Structure 1
């Protein structure tokens, strides 16, 4: 029988992960970090900072990497700390956790691009958890298996009618101590380089007690692509603020709403452009050359 962690646990601080490239969010993420877009009139990362502060959590560290200078204004405006992840381009998100490993205790771990319709943060938390929403039908997300107490016992990518990992995480002090030790032990291993921190956790799931925290699908949102954002905030159907999309519209005499189904083009591990459909015709755009190519079936 698993022993429950002592409660209540006072949240000591929060880490917001904002170092990544978010290449699927083409082309906006090529121009500036996804977490700095406005959703329904409010910058994503600013909204999350304010929600944390409303819960009494003032010790907030933002881990930056890609276009880090665009986050500097947050220091003065919101009194947050910035920590650079030097490995953001060469390693997966476990490197962001590694960069702030000495700060981890009773800590919220947040993704900078999450949007919460209501404040999910609390001053006191009962136990370490990963937030989750129920997804009907088939999904390619991380699917959660639990025991009768809500303890996560397994994770699998893909499933049907499942609770999936989505949103913020709470590391208890006990969880942080154990996970940091594991992370330090495996960090230099070549096979670790491309792993999500969640994959490392899964490899040691019997040593690390993490519980499911269930939320309504109307509370937690994550926008992996521009098309997903457009569904949530229709403003982006007609005006994204993207210089690249504006240039394409001028070139083809079309509207931004005509440009859909955007997906990144990758070469040798780097994102070099994106594919899209414009009025049902397939195109490819390349960042370096600013070249737009048409593909007719």
Structure 2
């Protein structure tokens, strides 16, 4: 019993605005982590598991992904709505490819290869949080099927990483998505939110992974903890220029916090030698924040 995996869909359309300013210069999936480009590592792991058809859904700076077509034979498709909708639009853009499929986020780093050619059942990858967490926490029944999801919890398994959809699951999810897609309230929903609203119709298991196997970096500060080479060399021309203007080093630029204007990246604040600064992305202006 089980399912032969047909393909993998990698979602890479978003702005990753919290990853400023690196994401201003290139998509987050194209940063190098411990010597490997994030998206290339994931593609390699999928291919090592025998998964040949890989579909990448691009949007923001989509042209930077085109080289993957020739290098790895990846199918690159466009999500034209990445600026105005949440990631349900990437699922919609890839709908004709969804069968027995992995659904992946382009910015995950897998320390060990989590992929396999045959999968027992639809699942969402999960890791365990000891103590309080603000992540999306899951509960399950005795068979491991997800019975509830809530944002925030304590001592719980939470959503992190890839998922697998059986063809039956894909078909049912797309029926729901197509029915609800044009509703105004659907635009801002994660696909996970739609799944949660229809748990009984969409049986999916929790697949539990050990600590330190699945990583997601939401900010440069988090990446620096994992790959310490980014402490002194951020690979960002913006931060190199800022460090030069402040007569300091990139390592002294810390606690970067992005801000947006509507859906667009607007800039970020950061700490430097005990002071807080603001950088405007649109104007390329740097100034000290006043209390």
The TM-score, its normalising length taken from structure 2, stands at: 0.99
Correspondence 1:24 to 2:24: no
Q: Distance in 1 between matches of 2:47 and 2:148?
A: 33
1:77 matched to 2:71? yes
Q: 1:130 aligns with which of 124, 128, 142?
A: 124
Deviation track 1:36-56 (CA, whole Å, cap 9, x = no partner) reads 000000000000000000000
CA distance in 2, matches of 1:270, 1:34: 16
1:221 matched to 2:215? The reply is: yes
Task: Decide which of 3, 18, 41 is 1:9's aligned counterpart.
Answer: 3
Q: Do structure 1's residue 288 and structure 2's residue 268 form an aligned pair?
A: no
The Cα shift of 1:270 comes to 2.4
Distance 2:71 2:262 in 1: 38
Aligned match of 1:142: 136
Match of 2:57? 63
Distance 2:74 2:104 in 1: 14
Deviation at 1:280, TM superposition (A): 2.3
In the TM superposition, what are the counterparts of 1:20-169 in structure 2 within 5 Å? Answer: 20-169=14-163
For 1:295 and 1:195, the matched residues in 2 are separated by 34
- Where 2:109 maps in the other structure, the secondary structure is strand
Structure 1 residue 178 and structure 2 residue 169: aligned? no
**Structure 1 residue 65: deviation in Å?**
0.3
Alignment of 1:224-263 (within 5 A): 224-263=218-257
SS at match of 1:24: helix
What CA deviation, in whole Å up to 9, does each residue of 1:93-139 have, x standing for no partner?
00000001111110000000000011100010000000000011221
Task: Give runs of ≥4 in structure 1 deviating > 4 Å.
Answer: none
Runs of 5+ consecutive residues of structure 1 not aligned to the other structure: 1-6
- 2:83/2:263 contact within 8 Å kept: no
RMSD of the alignment, in Å? 0.8
- Does the CA-based 8 Å contact 1:281-1:296 persist in structure 2? no
- Aligned residue pairs total 291
CA distance in 2, matches of 1:86, 1:149: 39
Q: Secondary structure at the match of 1:206?
A: helix
Rounded to whole Å, the distance in 2 between the matches of 1:247 and 1:39 is: 22
**Alignment match, 1:4:** none
Using the TM superposition, give the Cα deviation of residue 296 of structure 1 relative to its aligned residue in structure 2, in angstroms.
4.2
3-state DSSP of counterpart to 2:89: helix
Deviation at 1:293, TM superposition (A): 1.5
TM-score, normalised via structure 1 length: 0.97
Which runs of no fewer than 5 residues in structure 2 stay unpaired?
A: none
In the TM superposition, residue 267 of structure 1 has moved relative to its aligned partner by: 2.1
